[in-house]
Amino acid sequence: MAYIISEECISCGACAAECPVSAITEGDGKYVIDENVCVDCGACASVCPVDAPKQE
């Protein structure tokens, strides 16, 4: 089950820098996770200052 980034995202980029498979990119107003690439490791959630990455 892949992670998604909720509307709480503040576009800081901390999650993208932490992703080991580069599944996270900057989107329109928030970062987005490619569910086909995400390996469900939770690294993004562990560094997000606003807890925006959530499991689907």
CATH label of the domain that carries residue 17: 3.30.70.20
Q: What is the pTM of this model?
A: 0.92
Tokens of 42: 């939770």
- The b/e string for 13-38 (b: 16+ C-beta within 10 A; e otherwise) is ebbbebbeeebbeeeeeebbbeeeeb
Residues contacting residue 22 through CB under 8 Å, at least 6 positions apart: 16, 37
Residue 12 lies in domain: 3-55
In tens digits, the chain (56 residues) has pLDDT values of: 899 999 999 999 999 999 999 999 999 999 999 999 999 999 999 999 999 999 98
- Number of independent structural domains in the chain: 1
